[in-house]
Structure 1
Amino acid sequence: MKQKFLVIAMLICSCTNTTWSQTEIGSSRIISSQRKIIIQSQDKIIVHDKKRIAISDEDKKRFAGDRFTESKFAQLKKFEARLLSASGSKIKVLDKKDIEESTLSFYSIYNEHKTKYYSLLHPTLPYICEKYKKYELKSSFFLPNWDPQWGSIDVEYASLEIVLESPVKFKYVNIGAIDEPQIFQDKKGHTHYKWEVRDVLAYESEYHRTPEATFQIGVKLFAEEFTLEGYQGSSQSWQSFGDWYIDLVGTRSNFKVPPVEFAAFKKLPVEERVQNIYQLLQEKTRYVQIYLGIDGWQPHPVDEIHKNQYGDCKDLSMYMIAMLEQAGVQAYPGLAFPRNYGWVDEDYPGNQFNHCISVVPLPSDTLWLECTADVTAFNNPPAGLEGVNILLVKPGSSRLVRTPVSPAKDNKSVFTAHVSLTTARKAKMQGKVVFTGNRAVGARQGLWELDYTKQKKWFANRLAEKAGDVRIDDLAIKNLKTTNRPLEIEFTATLNYFAKKAGSRMIFKPRFFHNIYYDGEAPEKRKMALYNMTRFWDQDSVTFSLPFGYTNQRDIKSDSISSQFGKYFSRMKPEGNNLLWTSTFVSRAREIPLNEYADYHDFMTVVKKQAGTKFVIRKLKK
């Protein structure tokens, strides 16, 4: 499902006939940001946005620019901008020739959208940028959210004002430290809602913060009733929103001339039917965006998808549902918002989605089918669709359902290798790595479209990111496009400068494939919950053959730690003239609330330290 209407929520609009006040420039900051949304009807909303920005730093010049994506439902009416000196004299004024336009999209073949944008630049700092934008939305379905914390810059003052020239019902959700709006009527009897904030600090991200944490202060808006191309809808409840979507889809999810080939699957058990048809979908179709009509929400007729063998998420999901129906299996669309984008708030029904999947309820289980990704296995959606609220769209009983979260043991990366160390500090190795679950999805995404040379480069980066020069001598990949089986990679490689020399000793890190990263803030500085994309299980078993004349300086050494968040274990064990190093890191922690962060930080700090252990071998005296 198209995502650019979510971008509208971040776009800017302004009030006309405004006098710009003069000020000393001072530090870079947004001096004032004012948005006015005039709701004239369900099908006509005018948005004005005005900003006055002090720009004193080179890296803040980007704030003297803007962009807007036009579509059938969003039209830009005006761009205005100028740069002023501290005294108020004009430095530069936006000209029509400064405004550029683009319709390019990697996945699109038909596109009614075009993005207009500009950057108003001047070499000499400081200056004031004053910019204004006006645009029209042709459905209250796309009411924009208001996020005054606009990037990495402080905000002195910001306001949102909604003017109801028509009694359109809407809901609002205050986010963060923001007061309830002032509500008043003007002389014409129009109701106004006005929010104001002052002295908003620049947004500062944190290590692995939850996606929704980027929206720290502002207002989310939902139209309780809306019209989209004549389709009347309601967000009074998830049931009513689902009913609207069913009406929008209509008969487009039904074959006019049912293909005969899918009926043959009826002789198989139900789950096998679903799996076989899902495999056909992956083999024969491809993901393509077609931005025509109500392109972000309404699917194209399944007969077209069957003929063309391409479509976007809603097209391919509806096609999957239609094929399953011919095979005697009932399935439904599931509207989703992947976890890496944010979170669907169950208390506020409405437009919170940007993706669609197919859902197959069974008596003892539910199958979740991601229909746009060739790299995902059957009933194993990518990590971004785990543990999320999905609107299961069913006639008479649409409701939010929570997708399952896979356990760590289902997402394994198991690395085994034999490494011969040389006196020239090289490591010559032969080994194998096996990926399952989300670990396999991630690896397949990286390798899927690459030729052999680029596949070797990809693996070299994974093999020894910081271990000196790497040469992949041979690479054999098994089950790359057989997604229902583990992905296996066999290799031979040479790592130059693998070890460091210090006199008669050589020092090396045994961990060179599954690197463990953690850069979380100290608990007293942390303000946000922490989010890891997936639970996982990484396992290593590496035999090191020592160079002739060298010996290990230590006996058996092991490290271990276990907690509610996971466990870590590693051991180096001498075996004749070899060293056997084994390691297991299990991460069970996906979302860590702020009140548990200190314990998680302590756990990961120990894991990171233990994972960085180096080993020393020394040359025997003659």
Structure 2
Amino acid sequence: MVLYGEGASERVMNSAVYVNNKEGLDYWKEIRIPYNSVYEDLTIVKAEVVKASGAKIPAETYENELVYTRLEPGDVVYLSYKLSSYGIGRLGREYWDKFYFSAFNPTLTARYSVLVADQVPIYYELVNNVNNIKPVESKHENFRLYTWEMRNLPVLKEESYSPAAGDIGSVLHVSTVRSWDYIAEWYSDITRIQSKEDFDINAAYKEIFPSGIAGLNEQEKARRIYNYIEENISYSSVSFRQGAYVPQRASKTLNTRLGDCKDLSALFVSFARKAGMDANLVLVSTRSNGQHSMRLPSMEFNHCVARYKDGTDYRTLELTDNHLPFNAMPQSLAGAQILNIPYEYKSGELIQLYEPRANANVIKHRRSKVLVDNADLHINTVVTTNGEVASGFRSSYGEKAQDELKQNLQEAVSGQFRNPVTLEKFAFRNLDNLSDTVMMDETYTVKNDVISVGDLSMLKPPLMDIVATVDIFNNEVRQYPFEYWKYENVDDYNTEVEIELPAGKAFDLVPSNVQASFGDMKYELSYIKAAPNKLLIKRVFQTNIRDNIKPEAFPKMKEFFNLIVAAEQKYVSFK
């Protein structure tokens, strides 16, 4: 990497990969080199397959796409390319980069070198630097050279629900940006320019507040603006329409009815500021990128949300999901790295992890009534949920014809039972609006679900929602944390099942109550005989989708989940 004093840069990338099996062949046969054609020039120096015999087969290339033909196990994939960058705009002179020394395949040698002009400051940090590697520094005329090198690196282990590679591997972060303040100030200036009001914004504002804002609190103002944007503007992110960093003018987003995350957030800020609200943008690196993906100042954010002040508290709004309830947050933001962008710039902004509000839990409440009719079960179940799960209901069922909707529901409920199921009726509430909760009411019959042995009959209580599985465990010792947020999207499950037997029948054997906990997770399953022929089953499960499970705690989680799965497989008997 060469960083020139005028802001231009050149990157030369060389890699040689030995392909030793079919899986490696499938991975390396096609490559796309990431680059921005607006301010970068790409030159492919050499791309070829090197056979064991020494024969070389050039790759087929088109712009930044490469296909390695006649590739087979035992070959080497060689690639060398150069990227010349001519930065534009206020951040055009700045540079940032990440280099992953660690990989999920064996690495013989990994080297990163950066040649920096004397007048250019350079900041770097090597995370998960277990061997305490330091850069080798040398002087070359008006440049300084920094080189990091590692050999025979340990392979990152493939584990389900593990953190991003940047959180568990050795990663070098490099930046010329002196502070997060520099990023925040620059983006604050952009926000003010792009969110300015004009004729179109003023006309739409009158639609949102036809009687003005007198008597409205900040949350009601925000809700009206949010609902207007969600009902009238669609999410769209296309490279030739949206820039990588700069949002569109708010009026353009309004007129085209299309925008990406930063466009929609800037539009909200435009309306909110006109309504006298304290509102601004927040840049986000979502949780899937890891919690250490941005160690040094850069613009490697992949998302943007809006923030507004409500009394003494600040609340954030996700505007890219047209089905999400007001003030709800997708779980990809919990624990994500964020940078607040004050509308009127003030110093002191730092990258931090997003903490959801204490009352922002996603709750799933299900109440079912089961009538036993000989060998059949007649079931009515009502489920109420909020947050991102409510958005999922709206997305799955909100805009479908009744026949298609019934078929989808029939397939979903049939998957819960081994025997034939007939969906008889269904209803929804708040499927066509942005209320906090969505309710689904279903009535169906399950044929031959009661098992009879002589005078004794048995059935498995239909709890419906699966809260724990054992397929995430194996006999190997876990090496990395388990990211529970990737596995679960509900904070609290509350389930009630009432089973009523025909007259003259009575419950015989009922499982014992279960109570268990693991860290902050709590599980309860209780059985209450309300009458000889009536049984009430209650299940409460409080999860913790915010925190990772440490590897050393994973065996205890396995015990906890095994207990839950075993408890929910038990039958009740009657005669």
- Sort the Cα spacing of 1:595 and 1:215 in 2 relative to 1 into closer, same or farther, 3 A: closer
> What is the CA-CA distance between 1:213 and the residue it aligns to?
5.6
1:379 maps to which of 319, 327, 330: 327
Residue type at the aligned position of 1:237? S
TM-superposed deviation, 1:123: 6.8
Aligned-pair distance for 1:589? 5.2
Alignment partners' CA distance in 2, 1:568 and 1:371? 34
Q: Provide the secondary structure at the position in 2 that maps to 1:281.
A: helix
Q: Are residues 1:334 and 2:282 paired?
A: yes
Counterpart position of 2:190: 248
Q: Distance in 2 between matches of 1:205 and 1:379?
A: 36
Matched, 1:45 2:9: yes
Q: Judge conservation of contact 2:60–2:69 (CA < 8 Å) in 1.
A: no
Confirm or deny: 8 A CA contact 1:408 1:586 kept in the other structure. Answer: no
- The answer to whether the 8 A contact 2:113-2:148 is kept is yes
One-letter amino acid matched to 1:94: A
2:47 alignment counterpart: 81
Q: Which residue of 2 aligns with 1:288?
A: 236
Q: Is the 8 A contact 1:83 1:130 kept in 2?
A: yes
Where does 1:281-430 land on structure 2 (aligned, <5 Å)? 281-292=229-240, 295-343=243-291, 348-394=296-342, 395-397=345-347, 399-400=349-350, 403-407=354-358, 410-421=361-372, 426-430=376-380
Distance 1:248 1:79, change over 3 A: farther
**Cα 1:147–1:413 shift into 2, 3 Å:** same
Aligned equivalents of 2:525, 2:174: Cα separation in 1? 51
Match of 1:238 among 150, 159, 180: 180
Q: Report what 1:558 is aligned to.
A: 513
Q: What are the residue-to-residue correspondences of 1:496-575 with 2, within 5 Å?
A: 498=449, 508-519=459-470, 521=473, 525-533=477-485, 536-546=491-501, 552-555=507-510, 557-574=512-529, 575=531
Q: Give the counterpart letter for 2:573 in structure 1.
A: I
Is the contact between residue 212 and residue 343 of structure 1 (CA under 8 Å) also seen in structure 2?
A: no
| SS of residue matched to 1:430 | strand
SS in 1 for 2:288: coil
1:577 aligned residue: 533
Q: TM-score, normalised by structure 2?
A: 0.85
Assess if the C-alpha contact under 8 Å between 1:407 and 1:536 holds in 2.
Answer: no
Deviation at 1:281, TM superposition (A): 1.4
Consecutive unaligned residues of structure 1, counting only runs of 5 or more, are 1-36, 102-115, 225-235
Deviation at 1:295, TM superposition (A): 0.5
Map of 1:63 onto structure 2: 28
Code of the aligned partner of 2:270: A
Contact 1:76 1:135 in 2 (8 A): yes
Verify the 8 A CA contact 2:511 2:570 in the aligned structure 1.
Answer: no
Q: Retained in 1: the 8 A contact 2:113–2:145?
A: yes
What residue number does 1:439 align with?
Answer: 389
- Which of 548, 560, 569 in structure 2 is aligned with 1:604? 560
What is the aligned partner in structure 1 of residue 90 from structure 2?
none
Q: Which amino acid aligns with 1:251?
A: I
Judged with a 3 Å threshold, the aligned counterparts in structure 2 of structure 1 residues 355 and 494 are, in CA distance, closer, same or farther, namely same
1:511: Cα distance to partner? Answer: 4.3
SS of alignment partner, residue 538 of structure 1: strand
Distance change >3 Å, CA 503–CA 365, structure 1 → 2: same
Task: Determine whether 1:273 maps to 2:221.
Answer: yes
When the two chains are superposed, the root-mean-square deviation of aligned CA atoms in Å is 3.3
- Letter matched to residue 67 of structure 1: R
The number of aligned residues is 552
In structure 2, C-alpha distance between the alignment counterparts of 1:454 and 1:217, rounded to whole Å:
50
C-alpha distance 157-495 of structure 1, shift in aligned 2 (>3 A): farther
TM-superposed CA distance for 1:319, in Å, is 0.9
1:588 match:
544
Identity, % of aligned positions: 18
1:163 to 109, 112, 115: 115
Distance 1:600 1:209, change over 3 A: farther
CA contact (8 A) 2:60 2:68 kept: no
Change (3 A) 1:436 1:319: same
**Residue-by-residue CA offset, 1:40-80 (whole Å, 9 max, x unaligned):** 35642222222222222111112233112443134422164
Contact 2:364 2:490 in 1 (8 A): no
2:59 is aligned with 1:94: yes
Give the TM-score taking structure 1 as reference length. Answer: 0.79
Alpha-carbon spacing, 1:472–1:299, altered in 2? closer, same or farther (3 Å): same
Residues 306-360 of structure 1 show CA distances to partners (whole Å, capped at 9, x for unaligned) of 2222211111111111111222222111111222332267863332422111111
**Deviations along 1:104-124, whole A, 9 cap, x unmatched?**
xxxxxxxxxxxx433324375
Which whole-Å CA distance do the structure 2 matches of 1:70 and 1:464 have between them?
47
Whole-angstrom CA distance in 2 between matches of 1:157 and 1:504: 72
